[in-house]
Structure formats: C-alpha cells, structure tokens
Amino acid sequence: MGPLNVLVVEDDAILAELLAELLGDLGHSVCAIEATQDGAVAAAVRHRPDLMIVDAQLGRGGGLAAVDMILKDRPVAHIFVTGDIAKVLARRPASVALQKPYTEVALLAAMARAIAASP
C-alpha cells in the first residue's frame, strides 16, 4: 500500500492528533481532521481523500451518517473506529471497523482491508 491521502474524523482532539501523527510516521498524508458530521462531508468534497478513518459516534452528528453522505458523491475507502464495534457491525455488517483502543498493527490491517474493498 502506497502513501494515502487520509481524512480523519474524530471528535476527541487528542486521539485525532495522535492518529494523524501515526499516519504521518507511516508515510501517509492527513488532508484534514474533522470533529463533526458536516465538517467531515465538506472536507471529503474539498480534499477527495483516498481513505477516511471515521469515529462512528461524533458529538455533533454521526460518523455513519457522514460516510453515507460522502459515498453518495463517490466511493471512498473508509474505516469506522468505535468504542462499541458490535453496534457498528450490526448496522453495517460488511464494514471495516476497529474497536477503540486499537494497535498500530490492527490499524494497518484495517487500512489494507478498506483499500482492498474499495472500488
């Protein structure tokens, strides 16, 4: 997997920054960090990311709804991160999802799965 342009959607600022730093260390570019559903949708249109890493539960809006809106425009590989993976998989059984907290190894595997599954 080559370098990716990644949109991070996470309402916990510390987690978002740590994830962005990790992605940078892995050779990827973070095009934007957004904390809300509306911000995520606008950033996806503006930056056209290769991959989105999206917190399923946002303080303002929802990550699942944001992805639904973004996918209406074009297909984008995505990973849901959540504290309740069972809830996400019940609503989206075919999705790539990571249980918080996750490891770098788990993140890399999820990224590979999401890119492979993307049209």
Burial 51-64 (b: 16+ CB within 10 A, else e): bbbbbbbbeebbbb
> Tokens in use for 41?
């949708």
Provide the mean pLDDT of the chain: 95
Domains and their CATH numbers in the chain: 5-117 (3.40.50.2300)
Amino acid identity of 52?
A: M
Band (pLDDT 50/70/90 cuts) for residue 119 is confident
Average pLDDT over residues 34-57: 97
Q: 118 falls in which pLDDT band (50, 70, 90)?
A: confident
Q: In the structure, what pLDDT confidence band is assigned to residue 60 with cuts at 50, 70 and 90?
A: confident
* 102 has pLDDT over 90: yes
- What are the residues facing 9 on neighbouring strands? 34, 54
Query: What pLDDT sits at residue 79?
Result: 98
Helices (H), 26-57: 37-47
